[in-house]
Each structure stands twice: as structure tokens, then as C-alpha cells.
Structure 1
Amino acid sequence: MTHWWKCHGGTTTTDDPDFNDSLAENLIGLWEFSSGASNEDTGLSDGIAQNGHFHGNAHVDDGALQLDGKGDYFDVSTNATTDAPFDLSEGTIQVQFTQDCHVGSSPDTIVNRGEYCDRNSEGYFNIEVTKDGSVVVNHISDSDSVQLSTDEDFFSEGDEVRVSYSWDEDGEGSFIVENLSTGDTFEETFDSAGLNMDIGDNDDESFTFGAREYNDGSYDRFFDGEIAYVAVFDDPELDASDGVVDGTDDGEDMMLGYTDADGDQITNGDDVIYGNDGDDTIDGAGGDDTIYGGAGDDTLQGSGGSNTLSGGEGDDTFIGGEGADTFEGGAGQDNIDYSASDAAVNVDLSISTLSGGDAENDTITGGIDGVIGSEYDDTLTGFDHEGTSASDTYTNEFFGMGGDDTISGAGGDDYLDGGDGNDTINGGDGDDVIIGGQTGLPDRGYGSTGVDSDPDNDKDTLYGGAGDDTIYGGDDNDYIDGGADDDYLDGGLDDDTILGGSGDDTIIGGEGSDTIEGGDGNDTIYGGLDPAYPDSLNIPDDEGDLEPENGKDVIYGGAGNDTIYGQDDDDIIYGGDGNDTIYGGIDDDTIYAGAGTDHVDGGEDDDIIYGGGDNDVLSGGDDQDTIYVTFTDVTSGIYNTTVNGGNGGVDWDTLDLSELLSDGWVITSHVQNPDGDTGAAAGYNGQIILENAADGTSANINYTNIEEIIPCFTPGTLIATPKGEVPVETLNVGDRVITRDNGIQEIRWIGKKTLSGADLAARRELMPVLIRQGALGAGLPERDMVVSPNHRMLVSNEKAALLFEEHEVLVAAKHLTRMDGVDVVEASDVTYIHVMFDRHEVVLSDGTWSESFQPGDYTLSGIGDEAREELFALFPELEEVSTRGRFSAARRVLRKHEAELLVS
């Protein structure tokens, strides 16, 4: 005797077997507790739907009736008409259950028909389990009865158990119990003559699941666990050849012509196919097929026709072909494959009906977690509530394949792969993995590596959204926005734009000249290749870099304490706010440290570094670096900057204070010593102390291995006035100044002349002269000062009187450079400020005496047309040489050779 359930229940899962096949002609009652019809009777061979009711906490979840043993049960609706088909003289009852915990010491009821207290007068039937692990059947009809039981300990709590009980008029009854968890089977035949299911007299008694009906409407012996299904057949014996193609439990290929053990075969007609356990590959061939994969990682394909494909447990793949197919994934990571579609598909997992290409009119009933798209421009949209099974790795899993795809992951942890084409991908909430495209060729090529033949076929736009996302741009110029939280972003090949957003991101620019913004958070940024690659791939331009233009990155650290690596080629790096650590790497980098206490290392080659304020540590590294120090965000306190020019490579490092001093900072002390290097690399170590007169802030700059220092120029020089010392750049016409010869005099004219770097390069004779503190003797000047090369300083000593019979003489600054502490200095630009009185005066600047502006042929030609015309309007006599007498020199002016005698 072969029973239908043995042919189709060979899995060790809680999935209900499907009853909708050729055997449905004998199926008169079926409660399979699927989510779509939780209380319905779907065994309709009798033409009557005997639906049921939930009582207490009874409910359906995960395709099974859930009972907690605390007064809940399920009963089948009945009356004289609907119950009549169950008054069977012969038939089969099948049930599959899992007990969670035994309730009390009495047997717990699985299936019940009739009232226990009227069992001897009206008949009674139940299937129950005992505390010692036995499965028991009690069947009483009139004067005939039977009690059947498995051995003790046949099953344990948590085991999955299936029962088939059959009785017929000829007395050939059978009781079969299978423990699906252990593989044990109990089977017993018995004399069923006289037994029937006409129970309850006129009380319209029907079936109850999960409890015993002790008396009319009174229930006890409740069951704690789940019931996967209950089926009632009106025939005790079924044919072995059932029209259903069954696979084995080992996993196999089931194609056209496959024949199972009962002789059923896959045809080009309408087949019902079960893969059962194992990793199956099933193709239904032609016709409208119904295919069940069962447990295992199955691949299911209906081919022609409108097919129904159900994956069951495991990571299944459904191949969507022509026709209106229906897919049900079940537990596991389940995907629909439309890669063979000849047109774009539009799949939204939040709705049941799909469209486009092979997806046209396809339907999803649940459990589908992902889609493999076509080679065309697909639209793939995820669903927050897919992939909720613990066995699902990702909420949504999409593969765009070719074409310009639009992919949205929605909520959850998604895996989104755009494949080839210019894709737009939005991960949404959750920890997503996003892949823009495949690895291709760099647009610029590299040595023997070819050049990308189509540099515009994989330009992706990728949004991570909220969550800790992992995003790979792949080939071509991608746009990547990590969004909120801690993302890992890799641009891949070519010139990418990468935005980290908020959170502590890790960003890798990869090959190409990338633009990177770290955003908020403590980010780690690599402008070039992933640090997993060997450092030997980063080659300086002057040492044989095969492509010096493929790594010129622009990097913005943003807010937060960032760590930034520029790596290969000439990078521009902005640290932004926060305490950043910046490594320029090789080649000629430009680095702006930004606000915060930053650590900057320029690395190899000729770098330009701008300190951004606070207590920065700035290191040029090898070769010829220029380091600018600024304190742009300082408002109070004492700030310390440490500068190390480095001494590797071609060593000539410059410390440039021009921007700092032009902002109102004044050098109050400068101590300098040789750094110990010799030859061309000989430089200085020292300390510069500065003060900002505007707010009283002070700062220290401690430097080592610096070969050249460029301060600011004439702005910052302090001029003595009756109100005290005043920065020259703040003086106005009409202000009064202390003069050496004529007391307090009003300023009649002020002029400014700014020379750019290009101007100074063209006329190097206009480079400024630095006179260090004390260089003129007697502690004068009182602080470092910078003047134009022709600005004349008052020298007053006995040597001047001996040589020139004048105790005080004026000497141009450029003629004092033989003195220690007086030097012509390099400048990127310079502003000279001219102050003029009614006559040539000697004024007190930075504590030492020097001249005011003296108009003459040379000086007038050097101040510019507009300033010269302004002077002529104030002093018409200056237009003629013969009338300039009152502007004669306040002291004897030494010529070059005379000055050399004085300072030798």
C-alpha cells in the first residue's frame, strides 16, 4: 500500500507538501496553514470548504499552526451539510507536527473528532502524544474500537513527526508514524472492519486541532507546538504512479525526459515536479509546470508556459523565461535570474506583479530576495521586509548585469552590483555592499596595460545612504556618496568623485585623479591605491613613473580628526577642521592643514605646506619644500607650531611667514643656530616668537632643518608716534609721528607698492632686505624688520665720523648686507609702504632710526603713475627737479663703495 504523503513528504522541513495535483480527487479536507489562506480548507474534492476558527492564542506563522498549550486550539466549522463528507466509512487522515513542550502528565491532543465523554455512545477519534514520547491513535465506532501506539521515546520535543492513519471497510487498516528528525519509522497494520468516522450523532461534531473536546464546548489536553498541516482523504489506498515527478534526496539534474521511481516523467506538458532534498537543477520543459525545489540550493526553470516555481529552504535561483511565471522563494537567499531576457526588466519586490522583458506579468508570492537583471537598462527596487529569514544573508540582492541600470536597495543590508553600464544605485538604509561595475582598463593606460577603449561605459552614480556601507566604483569616472555612518568607499579606476558624508569613513581613491571629501567624522583617506597593494607601485615622477597624471588627487578631509594619505603624484590636500594627520606621499604636493592641531608630513619631492592654526607639527620631508605658517583661527592663548624642513633628497627648505605677519603678527624674538648640515644643505634650527598686537595673542615657531626664512614685508613695522608704536600699515594721512630732527610732524602722504612673485622674478633687485634684531648694534632694531632694498637706515657711530666727518649717515639697506644679520630674502610677493612728510625726515621704526620717503627721480619713477600724480597734486613743486630743494636728504647718503668701507 503506497500513501500519497510518503511520496511527497521526504524532506526534513516544516514546509507543507503541496496537495494540488492528480490526487486532489481524493482530498476532501486540507488545512495547510499557509500565510495566504491560514484558516481555509483547500481540499475541495467534495466541493465544500470547511474552513476553521482560531481560539485563544492560536495563529499561523511560518506556514504552520502555532499553539502554546494554554487553552488555544483550532476547530473546523461544521453543520449537518458541511460535516457530511467527513462521515467516512473508509479514508485516510494525515498530520505533520512538532511538539515544543509537553503540557502536564496526560496525553496532549493533535487531532480530535467527537466528545470524549460520549465516546461509547457516539464514537470518538483522536491522535495524541504522551509524555514518554509515544504517538497514539484512539478510534471508537459503535461497538468497534482500536488503540494504536508507537514505542516509548519514539520522538523527543523538537522532533518533526508525520502520521498517516487509514481505515477501510475490508479491515485493512494501517498506522504509519515517521520521525523526520531521526529517520525512524513505525508501521502497524490492524483490522479496521466496523470503524468509521460518522461521529457525534446529531451534535454536528467535526475536527479540532490542538485540543481534546471533553464535552460539548469544553476542551482540555492542549498541545504546545506547531501543526504543519492536516489532510483528510476519502480513500485509504492510492496508486503508486501519481502523476507527480519526484526527485531523490541527493540533489540531481531533472530535465525533459527525467523519470522517477514511480514511472512519472518530465514532459513538454503540464508537469508537477518535486526536487526534494539536495541541490537540484530542475527544468520543467514545455507546458504550465508546477515545480517545488524542496530543501537545498536549487535552480528552477519552467521554460515555456506559465509556471509556478517554489524554492523551499536553501538559496534558490529561479530562471525567469517567457510566460507569466509565479515565484515563491521560501527560506534562504532566493533570486530570480532574468539574464537571458531580450529586453529590460522592471522588478519591484514590494509589489507582486513584475513587468518588462521576461518579467512581464510574472508574479512574486513571497520570499524573493534578489534579481539578476538583463543586459539592458533595468530598474530593480528592493523591499524592506524581504529577506527577514535568519538564513538570508542580505535583505535584497541585485545584479544589474549590462545596461544603464537603476537599482534601489531600500531598507536592510543589501548587496547591489550594477555590472557593466552607467548605473545609478541607491543603497538606502542598512549596511549595504554596492559594486558599481567591473574591473576594466584605466582611461590613460599604464605602460604595457592598454587604454580603455570605451571610457564612458561604466560611469556609475552610487549612494550608500544610512548604515555602514561598502562601495566599490570599479571602472571609469564614478560618483560615490557614502551617506551617513561608517562607510568603506573605493573609487577604483579613473577620476572619481567620492563623498564620505558623516561617520568615520575609510576612503580609497584608487587609480586616477580623484576628488575626495571626507565630510564629518574621523576619516581615513587614501588618494591612491588600496594600502594592500605593494608600495613599489607608487613611483616618483622623476624616477620613472610611467603615468605621472593618473594620481593627482584633490582631497578634503572635512570636519573630524582625519588621517589622509596623498600617495602618488601631485596632490592637493585640505585637512579641514579637527586634529588631522596628513601624509603627502611622493611627488609635489600642496597641503593645507586647516584648523586644529595637525600633523603634516609632505613626504618625497617638492611640497608646499600651509599650517592652519593651533599647535601644528609640519614636516616637509625630502627635497625642496616650502612651509607657510598661519594662525587663522587663533583668538587667545599661546600657540606653538613645530616645523621640520627635513634633510633628504635635494635639501633646500623654506619657512615662509609672509601671510602670518601680514595678518598683524609681529616677530618679537628670533633665535637661530646652524643645523649641522654642510655645503648646499646647510640650514638652521631656531625659534621665532610672535605677538599679535590686535588681541595680545602670542605664538612660538620652533623650526629645524630650514635653509631659508621669508618673513612678511613692510607691513608690521612699528612707527613711533606720540601715542606709542603703531604698525605702519595702520597709519593715515594727518597722523602725527615723532621725527629725529623736527619733533612731531604730520604725515602728508602715504603710498603703497605691491610687487607680485612675477614682478620680483623679473626684477630681483627689488627683493626685500631683512634686518634682524640687534644687527645694527646696541640691540637695534628691537625686532626683526624688513625694508625695501633702497630704504636707508641711520648709522651713527665713531667710524662714520672718522671716515666721512659725519657722525650720522644714511645707508641703503642693500648696502648693509655685508653685516651679520642683514640679508636679501626671497619673497613670493611684497608690499612696500611709503610715508612722506613736508620734508625728508628721520623716523623711529622698530626702535631704530630710518628715513621717510624722499621724492627723487628714482623713487618717483618706482611708485606708479597714480601715486605719482597724487604726490604732484599735493606738492606741485615735485614736478620740476629744480624746485625739490626742501626735500633734500636729512643726512649724508653713502654710496655703495662708501658703505662697504663703513661695514667692512
Structure 2
Amino acid sequence: MATIYGTSANDQLVGTTKADSIFGGLGTDTLDGGTGNDTIDAGAGADSVLGGSGDDLLYGGQGTPVGSTLINNGTFDSNTNGWTGTDIEWNPESAYFSNGSNNGVIEMDGTTGPTTVVQQSFVVDGAVSASVTLRSIIRTAGTVGTDGFRLEVLDAKGAVVGSQIILPGSRTAWTNYTLNVSLPAAGVYTLRMTEVGNNDSLGAVVDNVQVTTTSVIADVANDTLAGGAGNDTLYGYNGNDQLNGDGNDDLVYGGNGDDSLNGGTEVDTLYGDGGNDSLYGGSGADRVFGGENADLIFGGTENDTLAGDAGDDTLNGDAGNDSVSGGDDQDLFLIGASEGFDTILGGEGGTDRDTLSFAGSTAGVTVTLSGSETGSYVAGTGAGTFSQIEVVIGSAQADTLNAAAATAPVTLFGGAGNDTITGGLLNDSLSGDDGNDRIYGGSGNDTLLGGIGSDMLAGGAGNDILTGGGDADTFEVGVNDDTDTIDGGNTGTDLDRLDFTGTGSGVNVVFSGNESGFYTYGGGSGTFAEIEQVGSTAYDDRLNASQTMGNMNLGGGEGNDAITTGSGNDQLFGGSGNDTLTAGTGADVLTGDEGTDDLYGGDGNDVLYGGGGDDSILSGGDGNDTVYGGAGNDQFGSESGRDQMFGGDGDDRFLGGIDDTVDGGAGGNDVLDLSFWGWAGTNILYSSSDPQSGIVQFLDAGGNVQNSMSFSNIEHVLPCFTPGTRVRTARGDVPVEDLVVGDRVRTRDHGLQTLRWVGSRTLSLADLIVQPKLKPIRMDAGSLGAGLPVRTMTVSPQHRMLLQDPRAEMLFGEAEVLVAAVHLTSLKGVEQVLPAGVTYIHLLFDAHEIILADDVWTESFQPADRTLGCMDAEQRAEIEALFPDLRGDFRNFPAARMTLKGFEARVMLAA
């Protein structure tokens, strides 16, 4: 057994085979206890301590705490032990004051001649503030105000770091004195008192000298302690220490500083204490406590108990069935793929946001949350339960994070991998991160983020915020989803989709700008941005993207849908149902699918597919378009450009134009109708080998060929007639478009009447698609009976024709009645058509007149300075739509004949 002391230098001290006590002192020491149950105090400095075999007690260097007394025998009770100097005189107090007191004191003027000096050295382990206190009095025969001493503190080099002259002012009462000093570094200091005043052996008396620390003296050096074999106890104290328990059952205290503690083998107990510590239990059933601040805690093998205590700790139970508690503040629990069955408690104190992370798991995990911040998990071969957890992070594999039964808000991160994430009943934050994830918000106002990958996001009930992130994401909007805010994101493979198939009702979607807009439906509404595709419902949907410039992909679903796009290269899909698809400029693809669809491509080189059903209009608009009718009796329109039209099955009608190529298809009775183009004439040149194929030449008034088109598989071609309806006038039959104000026109009731006003409006194919009620009525020659009209004529749908019919007199008491052209479509050869465009011309007289056009009596038109009261609602609506500038306060005037309503006309014609 030995007691070994180091110096202030860098010592190497080795113990014996017995139970030694080793003190390193100052300096960077290397201490080895050897065998035996040793006690080793490293002292100040960055020391290395090895306990060796045996049950050792190791101290890394504690430092001096606040309030520590740094000198010995400051009360002089029996002698001057610990003090050195010159001419020191010690006596009991009664020797100077005859008061009978045996309290020991010293006098600072021992004998006449020599100067009395009294001093003592002390050591501090680091920078510190200290207070020197004492009491003093002048002995009975001394001189007040003159006799005294100089109080000083000097460093190891003799430099004064603090001093004060003390001249006691009384012979009868003690006076207390204080000198505050700052000791700038670790080392040896000296407290010195030197006589001043009369050198007559009648000076000041001193008692109760103390040097006390007023701020912590910390050994901030970083020590390394290794317990070795045996049941060791290690104290790191201050500094960023490394403490290794090594073999057997060790007790390890980190102390202050950012320490690293390793229990080693067997059953160890580790305390991190202050600082941001790293603690490793090692093998054995260990107990590991982080203490204050942000600690990193690993249990190691076997069944460990881990506690983070205060601070933002990171805890990993590792292998074994561990009990893990985070304590206060925001703790992180790390779970791998093979960690036994752990029980985890997040803790609720401090800044509370505890996280369960499976980011290091090599297997996919299943996490089920239920109730308030509680649940269970399975990760590979490991499993466990948890409580007081607010955040869950999945692995890099395919995870299932299910908080459907959670009654507290949760935050879930899927991590990499194709994850399925489900929110709970309150306001949750759900993030898929990398991978193709499926995220369900559940109830509450949730925040969903898909991250990188093609994700599916469904907000569920509540006002949710959904962000797709990178790549092609799908946003499913369901029944009663309230008001959601959706952002598709614009990075990666960007083709984001709104899916309304689960809404249970039709949807109205409006793009107010590029890829952004709003939607409404029976159970909710929302806004969206960065959306390129829309999938609709089984009901009647309205998708309007006319304001967009990007490339859109819009689908209609099963109902009767209306879809409109803007200037991009768009894809429109009607689905089953009777759909209306209208594309803007750009190279668009329109697919009607099943049902009676209306398709209009707009400008650009478009491709249109009618699909099944009788499609009422297939027009590419301007540009070189390709149009496929598919099954059903389809009608094709053409505008400018070199269009190719393929009828497919069914009885198709083509309104062919310049430079077009028409193929009626192998089946059906197909018609090429040239009657709306206004050419003076046409040449139809049939192929010598195929009577259903050929070329159409368009002629001017001089009979010169101006343009042409080709056709095949066409069973019937309707040639182009002389343009314009002929109206009987004083100067003969004149095309209606050539009539001018002042012409004298024959009327049935009043002879020749002066034409007062001519009005017209030209409607394009697009206009007629938007307002289908304005599509014209075409009457083939002879369709009204008696060979009338004498040529095919076209009028507006509400233009009324005069019918002379005994059935009218029998039913209505009038021999002549007026019937709107739209009510005559039950007659053979009378039908409402959709041309590439039409011009309506109205003639105004002083009264409502019956005039002769193509040898058929029909009405004139006069709204100016007259009332519209004589017209039925449909006719008024048509006229106001055609000529809005003529709306006003019109005077009433009678109709020229009785006007039959629609049902009356049907009754008469069926009689």
C-alpha cells in the first residue's frame, strides 16, 4: 500500500500491487494504479488514468467548487502551522488585551528591528475569482492609523495580482477586511502579509484569515480514465472526459463537460451528468442515464435501461429488450431492424416533441398509433410499444405508418421507400419523403407533403394543405373533403393530377392561370397550383382550362362532361357520356370515347377521336388536323388547313373544305356535304376505278377551278348551290345578301314594301359549338311540299315559315300559321345542322311582313321601334343573342300571323 503524490509537472505515476492512493496534482499526468483496489485522483490537467485490476476509484480532476477555502489554519487557534515568513509572533488574544481569551492570533510587528512577513501558498486548478477576508485590531499600546500591514496575493512568478494596505482604526474593536482578487489561470499563488508603520513591536493583530473562491474553479482539462478489470467507480468531473469502465460491473460518472462514457462488459451504470455526453452501455444489462443537456445514449447488447433525462437526447436501446425513457425536451429514439422488444417513453416535460425514428432500419416497418401519442411497431425481427411520442420517421424501405386511431396530433415522415401513411383524427403533418408514397390525411386540418417520387395524396375531411413535391403526383379529392389547398410541385418528372373520381358528385374545375385555379363540388371546394392533369367523376363535370398556356391532360369520366383547354398542346378525354371537348391553340389530342360527343380542336395541328356513339361534331379548327369518327353516325366539320377526316363505321356526314382529305370508311352510308362553303360551283370528278372516291374542284363565278379536295368511301356528295336565298323584289329574285335599304320587296299582305334595314351576323363554328341553339335549319328542295322550297335553303332555328294547311284551320281556326323552322325538323329533308360557319340576315320593314323567298312564304324581322312582345320567348332570346345592340324599349306591334308553339306545331304536323 502506498500514497503517491505528483508534482505540478507532467508526471508518470505507477502504483504497487496493493491498495494505493495516487494524486496527480497539476500537469498532464499518466497514472496507473496497478493491481489492488486503488484510489486515484488525477488532479488538474489533461490526465490519463488506468485503474488496472482490482476495484478501483478513479477521479478525473474535480476542480475547486464555489466556497472552497484555499488556505490552512487561518484561525491560528493553536499555532502557525502552514504559515511561513519572518519575525512571526503568535499568542493567545489575552496576551495583547488582558481579556482572558485563548483565541490564537498573530501580531504583524513581532520584534523591534526586523520587518514581519507572514505568508502561505495555495493551488487553484483553473481561472477563478476569490475573496481574501480577515479581521484586525491595534494592540493596546499601538498607534491607530499608522501601524498595520500590506495584504497581497502573488502568482508563481511573484507578480502581484491583488493588494491592499490595512491600517486598523481601533484598539478595542475588531474590524473586518476583504480583498477581492481574480486569479487568471491554474497554478500556485501566495497570500502575503507584510508589516507597515512603526517598527516598535506594538503593531496590528490579525485573525480569521480566509481565501475563498467566489466562482467555480473547474478542471476543464480532458481526462481519460480506464477502469480495467474489476468493479470500478470513475468520476470524470469537469472537462470533456473519456471514461471506460472496461471489465466487470462499473459505476461511471461523467460530470460536467461533453464526456464519452463506455461501460464495457458486464452490468454497468453510467451517469452523463452535465454536458452533451455520449454514453455506451456495452455488453451486459446496463443502466444508462444521460443527465442534463443533449446526450447520445446507446444501450448495447442485452436488456438495458436508458434514460435521457433533461435535454434533447438521442437514445438507441440496440439489441435486447430495453426500457427507454427520453425525459424532458425533444428526444430522438433510434430503432433498428433487430433490436428485441423495447418499451419507449418519450417524456412530456420541457420543449416537448419526441421522435421515434426507424431511419437506420434495414427492413420496412409497421407503426400503429392509437389513442394519445401511444402505439406499437414491428421492425424486422424487433418490435415494441411506445407512449408520449409526437413524431415518427420511417425507414428507407416500404413502411406502413398508421395513425387512423390517434386522438392527438401526429407528425409522420415516411422516409425513402414506397410508404403508406395515414393520419388520425386531429391536425396532422404527414410527409412521404422519397419514394412512391400513398398518404391519407384522415380527419382534421392536415398538412401533406409527397416529397420526391410519384405520390398519391388524399386530404380527407378537414381543410387540408397538400403539396406533391417532385415527380408526377396524384391528388385524390373525396366526399366531404371541405376546403383544400393543393400544390402539385414542379420538379422531377412533373405531371401532377387532380382525381375527383371519389367525390360522389359532378365537379366544376376552373383553371384561372397556368396550371392553377379552383374547384367546387357537392361536398367541398379548393384551390390548386402546378396541376397538369385532371381526372373527373362518373357525373356531369365541367373542366375549364381555357386560360392556361401549359400542356394539360384532362379527363371527363362517365358523365356528360364539358372540357375546355387553352393554348398548350393538350390532351382531352371525354370518357363515356355525351361530352363536349373544346381545345384552344396548340397541337391537341381530343378523345370523345363513348357517347354522343362534340369535339372542337381549335387552332393548331390537332388529332381528334370521336369514339363510339353518334358524335355531332368533329372539327379540328384551323391547322392541319387529323380526325377519326370511330363507330356511330358522326358529323365532321372543317375549317382552314389541310385536314384528314376518317369516318369509320356508321353513316357519317363530312363538311369538307379546301385541301381536305375525306375517307368515309368501309361501312355505312356516308355523305360529303359541300353546301355551306359558298362556292359558285363545283366539279365532282369520280375515280374511274372507284365510284365512291374522287376529287372535288371548287369553282368561282367564271367557272375557274380555285381549289380542290379529295374523298374516298363516300356514298353521296351534296354539290354546292348558288349562294344565298332568293327574295322576290320589284327587280326580280335577288340574293338576300345583295338586298339594300330602299329595295321594294313583294309581301303577301301589302304588295311591294320598302326595305328599311338589313342586319346580319356571322357565326363561326366555335360560336355554334358554344351556343348550339343557334345552329341553322337546312330545308332541302321540296321538303315543305309542292316542290317548295325550289332550292335548298338555310334559316335560323327560330325563323318562322308560313304554312297553309287545312289542319291549322281545323285545330287553331286559322288557315295560315307561322311555325319556327326548328319545329319543322320532323319533316323529311328538314334538319338542324352544324356548318363550318353561317351568316344570318334579317330584313326590316315598317310592319311585320310575309315575304317570298325561294318561292316559300316566310316572315320578315322588325324589332326597331317596335316591341318584342309579339314574339315567343325562344324567338326573343335568339334575336337578343344575335343582335344585342337592338335591345331597347320597343313599341308593341302585331304579328302578321298566328305563331304556333312547339307542341302545337308537333300536334298539327302529326294530325
Report the TM range for the smaller structure's normalisation.
0.3 to 0.5
TM-score (norm. length: structure 1): 0.42
Larger Rg: 1 or 2? 2
Q: Which structure features the higher share of helix residues?
A: 1
TM-score normalised over the length of structure 2: 0.41
